[in-house]
């Protein structure tokens, strides 16, 4: 007895029940829990037959039979009901369920489970998805489409080959870092879009760090000159955003060199804890009833910004490689300070790539990343002092 086949059949039965339960809950006239369970079993058994008899025609024949049954059911529905539902969601779900269960036999069972579970979730979140789409404006759609173009159109066509001097410029890897940074910012932007306006100053700082701690610093520093008595609140939000920016740095390091994250984590965590302590101190000094909100952020997925970051990242890669080769690792501290002033993400990713390729010791790398983050903090402090009030500077 092949227990693997029995397990596959049991999984198909469960997926059919799950999707069928959701369809029947929405009062689908086409197929419910029993129909989807039977379709799942049919797909699995068809896969068994095609595999055991080595016959590639069994699966498409049963698939065509299912399509014919669905067509007949729709014709009957059109004649029976005065205002029939002409949507194709249930029909597509039925065909997909058959294909998923057949693939669990003929292909990868894990992929079938993932797709089947995703199908059930997608059907369930229909109302939430529609509500999300209705609340999107042109800027939101532009952000989504730009990110899709950056990640799904440009990235796959770039050559994964090293070019240029010092053998460090790889177009694919550089753009992959652009996708990573823009993706983090887009996630933060949409969290703010649908959650941030309804929450307090703590989440304003957190979301500001996810989107852009530098932009948050500029926005709230300027705001202190327009609104009275919000200096401590602005200082809290700016400091919180800077603390969350450190979390971004840890995430970036974890994505590039997860095997070395434990060695780099401790010093960054110490800095993070210190900043959290400062945030806690500021929090108890500010007016908790304040209803000030984080200014509406700009589109985080602008192609121009992505291109600039890619160029900056490439230049820092060259600067780091050139400095290390010509002057040694000690001179990288100067590069870290200068690069960290404007963008701590780019220098973090550059140093992480160098550590990944064993071109830089981890003990030196974490010091450089820490120095870059402190340099960035100093830069934001100077901006807050220049753009904000004297009380904010204090």
Report whether pLDDT(205) > 70: yes
Structural tokens at position 256: 């590039």
Average pLDDT over residues 99-125: 90
37 vs 98: CA distance, rounded Å: 10
Average pLDDT over residues 48-59: 89
Q: What is the pLDDT of residues 6-33, one digit of tens each?
A: 888 999 999 989 888 887 776 666 667 8
* Of 129 and 249, more confident: 249
The average confidence (pLDDT) of the chain is: 83
Q: Is 262 exposed, middle or buried (0-12, 13-18, 19+ CB in 10 A)?
A: exposed
Q: Are 221 and 238 in contact (CB under 8 A)?
A: yes
Q: What's the pLDDT at 291?
A: 47
Q: What's the pLDDT at 73?
A: 78
> Cβ of 380: how many Cβ atoms within 10 Å?
22
Q: What is the pLDDT of residues 345-363, one digit of tens each?
A: 889 998 998 898 888 889 8
Q: What is the pLDDT of residues 301-346, one digit of tens each?
A: 778 878 888 888 888 888 888 887 888 878 889 989 988 887 788 8
Task: Give Cα 29 to chain centroid, integer Å.
Answer: 37
DSSP string, 26-91: TT-SS--HHHHHHHHHHHHHHHHHHHHTT-TTHHHHHHHHHHHHHHHHHHHHHHH-SS-----HHH
* Of 229 and 50, more confident: 50
Least confident range from 41-50, 70-79, 365-374: namely 70-79
Q: What's the pLDDT at 289?
A: 45
Whether this prediction's pTM lies above 0.75 is answered by no
Of the ranges 41-50, 82-91, 204-213, the best mean pLDDT one: 41-50
Q: How confident is the model at residue 269 (pLDDT cuts 50, 70, 90)?
A: very high
Q: What's the pLDDT at 370?
A: 92
Average pLDDT over residues 185-196: 74
Q: What is the pLDDT of residues 167-181, one digit of tens each?
A: 778 899 889 888 888
157 vs 177: CA distance, rounded Å: 15
Report whether pLDDT(100) > 90: yes
> Cβ of 79: how many Cβ atoms within 10 Å?
8
Share of the chain above pLDDT 70, in %: 91
User: Which residue pairs, CB below 8 angstroms and at least 24 apart, start in 325-334?
Assistant: 325/166, 329/360, 329/361, 329/364, 332/360, 332/364, 332/368, 333/367, 333/368, 333/371
320 vs 351: CA distance, rounded Å: 8
Domain positions in the chain? 3-132, 135-393
């Amino acid at each position: 007895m092949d227990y693997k086949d029995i397990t596959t059949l049991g999984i198909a039965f469960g997926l059919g029940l799950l999707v069928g339960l959701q369809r029947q809950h929405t009062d689908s006239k086409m197929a419910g829990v029993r129909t989807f369970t039977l379709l799942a079993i049919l797909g699995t058994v068809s896969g068994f037959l095609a595999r055991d008899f080595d016959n590639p025609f069994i699966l498409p024949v049963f698939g065509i039979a299912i399509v014919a049954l669905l067509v007949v059911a729709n014709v009957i529905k059109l004649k029976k009901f005065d205002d029939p539902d002409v949507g194709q969601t249930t029909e597509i779900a039925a065909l997909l369920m058959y294909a998923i269960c057949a693939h669990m036999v003929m292909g990868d069972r894990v992929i079938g489970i993932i797709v089947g579970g995703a199908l059930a979730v997608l059907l369930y979140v229909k109302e939430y998805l529609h509500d999300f789409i209705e609340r999107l404006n042109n800027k939101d759609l532009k952000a989504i489409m730009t990110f899709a173009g950056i990640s799904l159109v440009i990235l796959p066509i770039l050559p994964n080959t090293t070019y240029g001097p010092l053998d460090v410029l790889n177009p694919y890897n550089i753009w992959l870092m652009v996708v990573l940074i823009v993706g983090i910012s887009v996630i933060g932007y949409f969290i703010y879009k649908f959650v941030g306006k309804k929450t307090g100053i703590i989440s304003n700082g957190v979301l500001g760090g996810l989107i852009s701690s530098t932009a948050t610093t500029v926005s709230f520093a300027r705001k202190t000159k327009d609104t009275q008595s919000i200096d401590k609140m602005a200082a809290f939000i700016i400091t919180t955003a800077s603390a969350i920016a450190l979390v971004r740095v840890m995430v970036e390091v974890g994505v590039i060199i997860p095997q070395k994250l434990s060695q780099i984590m401790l010093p960054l965590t110490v800095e993070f804890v210190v900043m959290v302590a400062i945030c806690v101190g500021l929090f108890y000094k500010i007016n908790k009833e304040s209803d000030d909100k984080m200014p509406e952020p700009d589109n985080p997925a602008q192609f121009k910004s992505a291109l600039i970051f890619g160029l900056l990242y490439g230049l820092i890669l060259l600067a780091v490689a050139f400095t290390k080769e010509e002057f040694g690792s000690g001179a990288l501290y100067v590069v870290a300070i200068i690069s960290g002033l404007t963008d701590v993400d780019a220098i973090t990713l550059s140093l992480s790539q160098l550590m990944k390729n064993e071109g830089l010791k981890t003990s030196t790398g974490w010091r450089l990343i820490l120095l870059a983050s402190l340099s960035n903090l100093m830069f934001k402090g100077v901006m807050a002092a220049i753009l904000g009030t004297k009380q904010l500077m204090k």
